[in-house]
Amino acid sequence: MGKGEDTRLAVLDQAIEVARRVGLRGLTIGSLAEQTHLSKSGLFGHFKSKEILQIEVLGRARTQFEDAVALPALRTSRGEPRVRELFSRWLAWESRPGGCPFVAAATEFDDQEGAVRTRLVRDERDMRDMVTTVFRTGVAEGHFRRDADPDQFAQDFNGVLLAYHHAIRLLGDETAETRANRAFESLLAAARAETSAS
């Protein structure tokens, strides 16, 4: 990796931290130049426009999410252990200072057509599909009921994480993590096959 690419990735890492605090709309090449002590013209050379910067921030955030959450979880044993690891790591991701950049972006772009929303929708669907697939392997392993609905589980899994994000970020609820874990355990209990060990 060359120096230019190293610089670009370092800038994107900083941009993610800024976006966690102020959102993608609040992220500008000018504000990022101040944060990184680089020139606006230099950053413009990397990103060309605010929209390209926003899309690249989402791409870099996805790489960070995959490294911190998805890939380690997928190295865990199939079935309930993998579902548990995925949830635990995802909860830790949501708990980072500033919260989850995808949740923040979804709030900003849920009704805004364009390339940023298109990228965000793709990433969100991929993440939800991952939960569905991980749960489906748990059904195949006999850990979850054969008639359990993987798509419903993925939506409920996501719902627990979104409720946690809201409780911890907006409400400052000190019991948010305990409640999120309790809600997740209820999801597992409802989905678990009768012969599966807890």
Nearest residue to 90 (alpha-carbon basis) of 111, 113, 108, 64? 64
CATH number at residue 80: 1.10.357.10
Domain hosting residue 97, numbered range: 57-191
Stretches where the chain sits below pLDDT 70 are: 1-4, 42, 45, 195-198
Query: Looking at the domain assignment, is residue 172 inside a domain?
Result: yes
Interval 73-124: pLDDT, tens: 999 999 999 999 999 999 999 998 888 889 989 988 988 899 999 999 999 9
In a domain, 163, yes or no: yes
pLDDT score of 198: 46
Domain total in the chain:
1
